[in-house]
Amino acid sequence: MKEIMTEYYIEAKSPKEQTGKKIAWITSGGPVEPLIAMDAIPVYPENYGAMIGASKMGVDLCEKAESMGYASDLCSYARADIASAVINGGPIGGLPEPDMLICCNNICGTVLKWYEVQARYYNVPLFILDTPLCHTEYSPEIKNYVEAQVMEYIKFLEEVCGKKFDYDRMEEVGSLSVRGQELWQAVLDTTMNRPAPMTCFDAFFHLALIVTLRGTQTVVDYYEMLLAEMNQRVKDGISMVPDEKYRLLWDNLPIWYKTRWMSDKFAEHGACLVADTYTSGWCSALKYMNTDDFLGSLAEGYTRIFLNCGTDQMAENIMALAEKYSADGLVIHSNRSCKPYSLGQYDIQKIVQKKMNIPTLIIEADMVDERNFSESQIETRIDAFIEMLK
Amino acid sequence: MITVGVDVGSISAKAALIKDNSIIASRVILTGYNAKNAGEQVFEGVLADAGVQSSEVDAIIATGYGRNSVTFADKAITEITCHAAGAHFLSPGVRSIIDIGGQDSKAIVVDETGRVLDFAMNDKCAAGTGRFLEVMARALEVDLDAFGNMSLEADKAASISSLCTVFAESEVISLISKGERRRNIIAGIHESIASRVVAMGNRIGLTEPVMMTGGVAKNIGVVRALEKKINTSISVSENAQITGAIGAGLIARDRARNN
C-alpha cells in the first residue's frame, strides 16, 4: 500500500514535461473514470486532507486558513487544503499543481466554493458536476439533467487535454472500476465472519486505493491480494480484536489524528468496529452501475451515492449494515466539519433505536481539526457505552 | 463485606465506604491540582471516619474524571454507570437521573434494576455545569451556597441567552451594570442551566420518577428550575453529591461477591 501510494504521488509530482500527463484535482465522490480514460492523473485534496489529519498537521493548517480569513466552522479538509496550497507545505510537500479541477457536489456543497477558490488561485478551468439530492427517488428530470452534464464533462476533458475522448478505453476503465468496487465490497464483507479478520480502522487505511486509483488494474490486484489475506485469516480463525465480544458499527468519517487511540480504546474492551458507512460508501452505488455501459450508468451511480440522499434513506442504509454485519451497537461520529454527513444523526439515532433496539453512542469531534476533540470526554462516553452493552 | 467507591471529579473528590447494604462513612474534599493525591486522601479519610483499616477493604472501584489516576482501585468504571447504581440504591424506583457535576452534566435513563439504558452528556462546553455556577458566583460576589435560596426570592428571572460560559459571564456583568437585582440574575442563571440540561434529557427521553445527583443538586434553585421545565417533581437525596461514590462502592461489593 505504502509503495503504491508513494509511486502514485511521485508520478503526480513529476515534472509535466516528463510524464506528459495532465493533473486533475477531483472531489472524493467525483467520477474519476473518464479522467483515467484520458490518461490524466487524478489528485484528491480530500485524501490529502486525511493525510494532513493523520500526520497531525491539521491544527497548524486550519489556523493558517483562519488567519487568511476562512471561518473556523468551514470544513477542515477545505481549510487544510486551501492553507497548504498557499504555503506549499504539508505532508509530501504539498500537492502537485492542477491543470484542471473536477468538482462533483454529490458529497457536499462546500466543495463548490472550495474548488472555486482553488480555480481562482491556480487560474485553471473548473468543471462542476451538479448532482441534485435524491431525497427519495432518482427522477427522470434528475436523470436527464445529470446525463447531459456527463456529456459536457467529456467535452471539457477533450478541450483541456487537447485530444479526443477514447470511448473504448472508457469501457475498459469502467470495468476495472466496477471490479475494484466489487473486490472492495468483498474485502469489507469478510467482517461478517465472527470473529472479524479486520476492523473498520483497517478499512480506513486500505480505503486509499479505491478512492484515488479506482479504474486501474493496480487497485484490482491490490484488493485481490487483500481479499485472499482476509479469507486466509477467516479460515485460520484469526481475529483483529483479541477476544471479540462486541460488534459495533461506525458512522461518518474517521477521526484521522486519533485512529490509533480509538482503535486501541475499543479493542481494550473487546469491541470490534466491524463495519462503517464511510468505507462502504465506495461501493454503495455498485447496484446502479452497468459494466456493459459504464458511461451510460455513470450519472445514476454518482448521483445516488450514500450521502446524496434523504435522512430516511441514510437510516435505512445504517440499519442494513447493522443487520448484515450483526452489529450490537452503533457509534456515530458527529463530525463538526462534515455537515451533510452529520445532519440528521439525532433522527437517525432515534430511528435505529426504535426499529432495531440497539444502543447508540454519539461522539462529537472533527476529522482533521484536533481542537474539536476532547480525549477524556470521549473516553468517558466510550467507556460508559461499553458498560451499557455488558 | 467492606468496599469503597472513590469518585474523583473535576472539582471535588468523594469517597463512600459501604458495609454490606449500608453507607458507613463518606467524605468530600476538593480535588485540587493532583487527582491522584486527592483520590488517596479521600480514601484514607473515609477509612479514618469509619475506623476501618485498608487491609479490611475487600474491593475498591474508582469513578469520575480522575478514575484512571486512582491506581489503588481494583477497577475504574464511568460515573454514568456509578450514578445509575447509586441512584437506584438511594431510591429504587428511579428511572431517570439528572447529574450535574463540576465539568459536565448528564441525563441517564435506567431500567428497574438500575442498569443504564441510555445517556446523554453535554458537549465540549462548561455551560450548564458546576463550574459555570462558580464563575457566576464570582462575578456576582455571592457565596455559591446562598445561590439556591436567593434565586427562590426572585420576582422575575433575568434572561441569560448566551450558551457560552465566558459570554454568559459578560451578559451577567452587563445585567449588574444595568442595575438588575442579584436574585433575579441568579434565577436567570438557573433557568439557563435548566434549559440546556432538559434539552439534553429530552434527546434520550426522561422517564419519571426523576432524581437529581451531583454537587449541583445541593442548589435548590437549579432543582426548582428543572422541575418547572420538565413539569414533574425531582427527588434529591441528602447523599446527592456522593451518589457516584456510593454507586462505585456498591458495584465493588457486587463484583467482589461474584468473584
- Collect all residues with Cβ–Cβ distance below 8 Å to A158 and sequence separation of at least 6: A164, A165
When pLDDT is averaged across residues B227-253 and rounded to a whole number, the result is 96
> What is the tens place of the pLDDT at every residue in B74-92?
999 999 999 999 999 999 9
Domains in chain A, start-ordered, CATH in brackets? 2-166 (3.40.50.11890), 170-389 (3.40.50.11900)
Strand partners for A251: A332
Quote the ipTM score.
0.86
- Cβ contacts from A onto B, under 8 A: 39
Contact between A171 and A295 under an 8 Å Cβ cutoff? The reply is: yes
The yes-or-no verdict on residue B163 having pLDDT over 90 is no
Instruction: Assess A268–B contact: CB distance below 8 Å, yes or no.
Output: no
Contact between A249 and A358 under an 8 Å Cβ cutoff? The reply is: no
Interface test with B, best of A269, A333, A361, A376 (most B CBs within 10 A): A376
Give B143's pLDDT tier (boundaries 50, 70, 90).
Answer: confident
> What pLDDT was estimated at residue A355?
96
Cβ distance of A387 and B104 shorter than 8 Å: no
Instruction: Assess A55–B contact: CB distance below 8 Å, yes or no.
Output: no
Nearest beta carbon to residue B116 from set A353, A377, A387: A387
What's the gap in Å between the CA of B226 and the closest CA on chain A? 23
Q: Are residues B100 and B210 in the same domain?
A: yes
Give how many domains chain B has, as a whole number. Answer: 2
> What pLDDT was estimated at residue B139?
87
Nearest beta carbon to residue A384 from set B78, B115, B123: B78
Interface test with B, best of A380, A382, A385, A390 (most B CBs within 10 A): A380
> What pLDDT was estimated at residue A197?
97
Q: List the grid coordinates of A367.
A: 476529522
Cβ distance of A384 and B203 shorter than 8 Å: no
What's the gap in Å between the CA of A376 and the closest CA on chain B? 7
Chain A residues in contact with B124 by the CB 8 A cut-off are 364, 372, 374, 377
Contact between A329 and A385 under an 8 Å Cβ cutoff? The reply is: yes
Nearest beta carbon to residue A387 from set B77, B104, B118: B77
Closest chain B residue to A360 measured between Cα atoms?
B118
Q: List the grid coordinates of B196.
A: 440546556
> What pLDDT was estimated at residue A139?
95
Nearest beta carbon to residue B121 from set A346, A353, A381: A381
Q: State what percent of residues in chain B have pLDDT above 90.
A: 75
Cβ distance of B81 and A381 shorter than 8 Å: no
When pLDDT is averaged across residues B116-131 and rounded to a whole number, the result is 84
Q: Are residues B195 and B249 in the same domain?
A: no
Q: Are residues B166 and B203 in the same domain?
A: yes
Chain A residues in contact with B79 by the CB 8 A cut-off are 380, 384
Q: Are residues B62 and B43 in the same domain?
A: yes
Give the span between the Cα atoms of B224 and B231, in whole angstroms: 10
The residue type of A163 is K
Contacts 24+ apart (CB under 8 A), A282-291: A282/A181, A282/A184, A282/A207, A282/A210, A282/A211, A282/A214, A283/A181, A283/A182, A283/A184, A283/A185, A283/A188, A283/A210, A284/A317, A286/A178, A286/A181, A286/A182, A286/A185, A289/A174, A289/A177, A289/A178, A289/A181, A291/A174, A291/A175, A291/A178
> What pLDDT was estimated at residue B101?
87
Using CB atoms within 10 Å of the CB of residue B125, give its burial: 0 to 12 exposed, 13 to 18 middle, 19+ buried.
Answer: middle
Give the span between the Cα atoms of B177 and B175, in whole angstroms: 5
pLDDT, tens digit only, all 390 positions of chain A: 889 999 999 999 998 888 889 999 999 999 999 999 999 999 999 999 999 999 999 999 999 999 999 999 999 999 999 999 999 788 999 999 999 999 999 999 999 999 999 999 999 999 999 999 999 899 999 999 999 999 999 999 999 999 999 999 999 999 999 999 999 999 999 999 999 999 999 999 999 999 999 999 999 999 999 999 999 999 999 999 999 999 999 999 999 999 999 999 999 999 999 999 999 999 988 999 988 899 999 999 999 999 999 999 999 999 999 999 999 999 999 999 999 999 999 999 999 999 999 999 999 999 999 999 999 889 999 999 999 998
Query: To the nearest whole number, what is the mean pLDDT of chain B?
Result: 93
The yes-or-no verdict on residue B124 having pLDDT over 80 is no
Selection from A111, A106, A165 nearest residue A132 by Cα? A106
Q: Are residues B74 and B187 in the same domain?
A: no
Chain A residues in contact with B7 by the CB 8 A cut-off are none
Chain A residues in contact with B115 by the CB 8 A cut-off are 388
CA A354 to chain centre: 29
Q: Are residues B208 and B124 in the same domain?
A: yes
> What pLDDT was estimated at residue A276?
98
Domain that holds residue B73: 1-91+242-259
Q: Are residues B230 and B246 in the same domain?
A: no
Q: What is the DSSP string of A72-135?
A: TTS-HHHHHHHHHHHHT-SGGGSPPPPSEEEEETTS-SHHHHHHHHHHHHHT--EEEE----BS
> What pLDDT was estimated at residue B127?
73
Q: Are residues B66 and B125 in the same domain?
A: no
Burial pattern B225-239, b for ≥16 Cβ within 10 A else e, equals: bbeebbeeebbbbeb
**Helix, coil or strand: residue A65:** helix
Peptide bond into A125 cis (omega under 30): no
Q: Are residues B228 and B122 in the same domain?
A: yes
Q: State what percent of residues in chain B have pLDDT above 70.
A: 100
> What pLDDT was estimated at residue B131?
87
Chain B residues in contact with A372 by the CB 8 A cut-off are 124
The yes-or-no verdict on residue B160 having pLDDT over 90 is no
Instruction: Assess A383–B contact: CB distance below 8 Å, yes or no.
Output: yes
B68: CATH: 3.30.420.40
Cβ distance of A384 and B119 shorter than 8 Å: yes
What predicted TM-score, i.e. pTM, was given to this entire model?
0.91
Using CB atoms within 10 Å of the CB of residue B192, give its burial: 0 to 12 exposed, 13 to 18 middle, 19+ buried.
Answer: buried
Chain B residues in contact with A359 by the CB 8 A cut-off are 118
Strand order in the sheet with A41-43: A41-43, A23-26, A100-104, A126-129
Q: Are residues B194 and B104 in the same domain?
A: yes
Closest chain A residue to B116 measured between Cα atoms?
A388
Q: Are residues B148 and B246 in the same domain?
A: no
> What is the tens place of the pLDDT at every residue in B1-39?
999 999 999 899 999 999 999 999 999 999 999 999 999
Interface test with B, best of A383, A386, A390 (most B CBs within 10 A): A383
**Helix, coil or strand: residue A162:** coil
Q: Are residues B65 and B166 in the same domain?
A: no
When pLDDT is averaged across residues B166-194 and rounded to a whole number, the result is 90
Nearest beta carbon to residue B65 from set A376, A384, A387: A376
